[in-house]
Chains A and B, each alone.
Chain A
């Protein structure tokens, strides 16, 4: 009895003193000397592990960029594969330092989860993947069809909105992981698979018969994808935000992994400011002056990252489209880096 009581007292005392201490993520990352990054369980072009265990993709490059900027080494990242359902809890609980998992920036998520979106790295929208032999040419012909979706995604909402708006009926089969979703589609459980369009291209190349499925032309929602951090740690929020901007600005300024070294010494003022030989942009973020130089040399600018992972240098062959620079027909625009 006495023992039990003492135990209870100790626990109570412990609980009472466990205050809401939340160390700065920057210090935390620096002291453990790696970045913990939440990614998908495997999605070609965005975050995928190869046979050797190396992660690559557009989302992965955000983490590598942050690691390069903060730790000077893009490889100092530990990846944590997360399903759509697990991702926000993992970030809220501090299990990861940054979530970079094709996550749509929505107002609800931004304002009610205690999280902040640090920018957009890919402007996407919900699309449809259908089997060719169904003979469907447009989403408007899908009345009465069944959809395979991954649970816990914004897609679940977008698809309901669309069918309600078009006064069409449909059935939705929701799966936990993207593998299960794909198997559901392949086994014919549903007529179409729906997700962000970029992910449809990625899922399509993973099908047994990729040529037997097509992505319909319709895009029915806004899905701006970007990295997420915990709310209330502004220093860290700023870092992630400006790492994203630096990669976009790098392309705009014509800084690449190949020429960064030369431009650092002899570039235009804007290039030099980005690369840390002029001004003190790095210091203002609490980082070293060569933070963006490290991103450029180790990860490359946005265009390099895009082409390597989802563009012409990849099996996905996605065109830049609206993800081109603003002066090139797209909407990518980094705020001024000065």
Chain B
């Protein structure tokens, strides 16, 4: 085997600027960048002039025009006299809503099912396996349809609603809940809730420091619950109960008043959280399995009970494995939420890419805006999860 000549040495000795690989790399990278820039410039300007030549309208001025159509559900006031720009916001908020609900439920389902796998109870551990294998392997779209049409077809019509105490109603149009409306003075109660939460956080900090110093454990959970209940309750009583319930009442075709949860939201949240939950369960299982058995035995030998072992030994170490997987599952969930369009849940994709795009015909602008939104949401999740990741890896040192 011959020894290759020392490349850098020779090029340096020749002293030519272009023969220096570092310089050359720089030049090529610069040229590539220029090329790419030119490439995109050409694509964009070509598209623009093509669209103009074909008489297709472009630009974003449409965002200020009146939309003229209604949307099933909106978290902010919206009707058909509002603008296309507003339809973007309405859709965006609905997307965020179903994503947050989905991520929350999927995490709970995933952790319960993932840990259930290790249960000593045969039935529980087997049902975890069946759950994971079933829901991971059925296409999500089918699951969305299943929940939607299963939910719809098993529910009664508005006039035969199922009801609990004439306050909760369930029918094919959705779930109708009483709405707690705040009167004058309710702010004080909201303030009390806020103070309660802050003091609970402080309590946790304090308990931890206390334990590290003295080894004593405070009954944190019980104390927290007490604070959370007592403080707001006290405020409510002092202010003379500044709330009243708005009950849904049957008027004409359906219930009005109160809060409505539409079946599309229920079905989509169920489908997304169960599907993603199955993947998270699998990740949790892998994470727990990655913790060597010796750790459990060591913990047992110093007298920890099973609950403590799970909480203090296994979960913190398993989190290192689980956390990056969670990140990608959450991101998939957000992207998968666009399946809303199949059942008419008015998310960003249904409203903006579905209806707004078709009423305005401005495909490029609308698709671009929508892509940017999903990109931004996922970047945000990524940043949060990376912070979380740092935290769990620090804890385990």
A88 and B28 alpha carbons, distance in the complex (Å): 43
Considering residues A16, A89, A109, A173, which has the most beta carbons from chain B within 10 angstroms of its beta carbon? A173
A174 and B149 alpha carbons, distance in the complex (Å): 15
Decide if the interface of chain B is mainly helix, strand, loop or mixed.
helix
A157 and B252 alpha carbons, distance in the complex (Å): 24
| Given known A-B contacts A20-B50, A89-B363, A144-B253, A12 and B55 have beta carbons under 8 A apart | no
A4 and B31 alpha carbons, distance in the complex (Å): 11
Chain A residues, CB < 8 A from B253: 142, 144-146, 191
| Pair A173/B153 contact, Cβ less than 8 Å | no
Q: In chain A, what residue has the closest Cβ to B58?
A: A112
| Pair A161/B358 contact, Cβ less than 8 Å | no
| Given known A-B contacts A12-B42, A157-B69, A151 and B32 have beta carbons under 8 A apart | no
Among B122-130, B340-348, B380-388, the one that faces the other chain is B340-348
Among B33-41, B132-140, B217-225, B311-319, the one that faces the other chain is B33-41
B133 CB to nearest chain A CB (Å): 29
Chain B residues, CB < 8 A from A175: 343-344
With an 8 A cutoff between CB atoms, is A114 at the interface?
yes
| Pair A172/B71 contact, Cβ less than 8 Å | yes
B359 contact from A9, A114, A146, A156, Cβ within 8 A: A156
A-facing residues in B229-254 (Cβ within 8 Å): 251-254
A18 and B350 alpha carbons, distance in the complex (Å): 33
| Given known A-B contacts A5-B35, A84-B358, A114-B56, A164 and B344 have beta carbons under 8 A apart | no
Q: Assign chain A's interface to a size class.
A: 35 or more
A20 and B256 alpha carbons, distance in the complex (Å): 55
| Pair A4/B32 contact, Cβ less than 8 Å | yes
| Pair A1/B28 contact, Cβ less than 8 Å | yes
A92 and B354 alpha carbons, distance in the complex (Å): 17
Chain B residues, CB < 8 A from A88: 358, 361
| Pair A160/B68 contact, Cβ less than 8 Å | yes
B96 CB to nearest chain A CB (Å): 20
Chain A residues, CB < 8 A from B342: 176, 180
| Pair A12/B344 contact, Cβ less than 8 Å | no
| Pair B361/A113 contact, Cβ less than 8 Å | yes
With an 8 A cutoff between CB atoms, is A314 at the interface?
no
| Pair B25/A1 contact, Cβ less than 8 Å | yes
A175 and B72 alpha carbons, distance in the complex (Å): 11
A175 and B359 alpha carbons, distance in the complex (Å): 15
Q: In chain A, what residue has the closest Cβ to B155?
A: A188
Q: In chain B, what residue has the closest Cβ to A112?
A: B57
B-facing residues in A221-237 (Cβ within 8 Å): 230-232
Q: In chain A, what residue has the closest Cβ to B33?
A: A8
A171 and B35 alpha carbons, distance in the complex (Å): 52
| Pair A184/B38 contact, Cβ less than 8 Å | no
With an 8 A cutoff between CB atoms, is B371 at the interface?
no
With an 8 A cutoff between CB atoms, is A95 at the interface?
no
With an 8 A cutoff between CB atoms, is A2 at the interface?
yes
Chain A residues, CB < 8 A from B54: 22, 92, 114, 230-232
Write out, one digit per residue, whether chain A residues 1-41 have a CB within 8 A of any chain B CB (1) or not (0): 11011001101100110101010000000000000000000
A9 and B350 alpha carbons, distance in the complex (Å): 39
Q: In chain B, what residue has the closest Cβ to A147?
A: B70
A153 and B173 alpha carbons, distance in the complex (Å): 23
With an 8 A cutoff between CB atoms, is A218 at the interface?
no
Q: Assign chain B's interface to a size class.
A: 35 or more
With an 8 A cutoff between CB atoms, is B112 at the interface?
no
| Pair B252/A231 contact, Cβ less than 8 Å | no
Write out, one digit per residue, whether chain B residues 312-354 have a CB within 8 A of any chain A CB (1) or not (0): 0000000000000000000000000000011110100010001
A84 and B341 alpha carbons, distance in the complex (Å): 13
| Given known A-B contacts A113-B56, A232-B55, A16 and B42 have beta carbons under 8 A apart | yes
| Pair A180/B343 contact, Cβ less than 8 Å | yes
A153 and B359 alpha carbons, distance in the complex (Å): 8
B298 CB to nearest chain A CB (Å): 52
A281 and B55 alpha carbons, distance in the complex (Å): 29
| Pair B32/A85 contact, Cβ less than 8 Å | no
| Pair B53/A187 contact, Cβ less than 8 Å | no
With an 8 A cutoff between CB atoms, is B46 at the interface?
yes
With an 8 A cutoff between CB atoms, is B263 at the interface?
yes
| Pair A92/B28 contact, Cβ less than 8 Å | no
| Pair B341/A189 contact, Cβ less than 8 Å | no
Chain B residues, CB < 8 A from A159: 70
With an 8 A cutoff between CB atoms, is A326 at the interface?
no
Q: In chain B, what residue has the closest Cβ to A145?
A: B253
With an 8 A cutoff between CB atoms, is B51 at the interface?
yes
Chain B residues, CB < 8 A from A183: 149
| Pair A109/B80 contact, Cβ less than 8 Å | no
B31 contact from A5, A112, A180, A191, Cβ within 8 A: A5
Write out, one digit per residue, whether chain A residues 117-161 have a CB within 8 A of any chain B CB (1) or not (0): 000000000000000000000000011111000011100110111
Write out, one digit per residue, whether chain B residues 145-168 have a CB within 8 A of any chain A CB (1) or not (0): 000010011000100000000000
| Pair B344/A156 contact, Cβ less than 8 Å | no
With an 8 A cutoff between CB atoms, is B282 at the interface?
no
With an 8 A cutoff between CB atoms, is A333 at the interface?
no
Chain B residues, CB < 8 A from A114: 51, 54-56
Write out, one digit per residue, whether chain A residues 268-302 have a CB within 8 A of any chain B CB (1) or not (0): 00000000000000000000000000000000000
| Given known A-B contacts A5-B32, A85-B358, A92-B56, A174 and B72 have beta carbons under 8 A apart | yes
A89 and B307 alpha carbons, distance in the complex (Å): 59
A-facing residues in B33-88 (Cβ within 8 Å): 35-36, 38-39, 42-43, 46, 49-51, 53-57, 68-72, 79-81
Chain A residues, CB < 8 A from B252: 143-145
Chain B residues, CB < 8 A from A113: 55-57, 361
Chain A residues, CB < 8 A from B35: 5, 8-9, 12
A152 and B349 alpha carbons, distance in the complex (Å): 12
Could you name 30 residue pairs across A and B whose Cβ atoms are closer than 8 Å? A4-B32, A5-B31, A8-B39, A15-B39, A15-B43, A15-B46, A113-B57, A114-B51, A144-B251, A144-B254, A151-B350, A151-B355, A152-B359, A153-B358, A156-B69, A156-B359, A161-B80, A163-B70, A164-B81, A171-B70, A171-B72, A172-B69, A176-B341, A176-B354, A180-B342, A180-B344, A187-B149, A187-B152, A189-B263, A232-B53
| 3 cross-chain pairs, A with B, having the tightest CB-CB distances, nearest first | A152-B358, A114-B56, A160-B80
List residues of A whose CB falls within 8 A of some B CB: 1-2, 4-5, 8-9, 11-12, 15-16, 18, 20, 22, 84-85, 88-89, 92, 108-109, 111-114, 142-146, 151-153, 156-157, 159-161, 163-164, 170-176, 180, 183-184, 187-189, 191, 230-232
In the complex, besides A20-B49, A174-B346, A174-B355, 17 extra interface pairs with C-beta distance below 8 angstroms are A15-B39, A20-B50, A85-B358, A88-B361, A144-B254, A145-B254, A151-B341, A156-B355, A160-B69, A164-B79, A164-B80, A171-B70, A172-B69, A174-B350, A176-B341, A180-B342, A231-B54
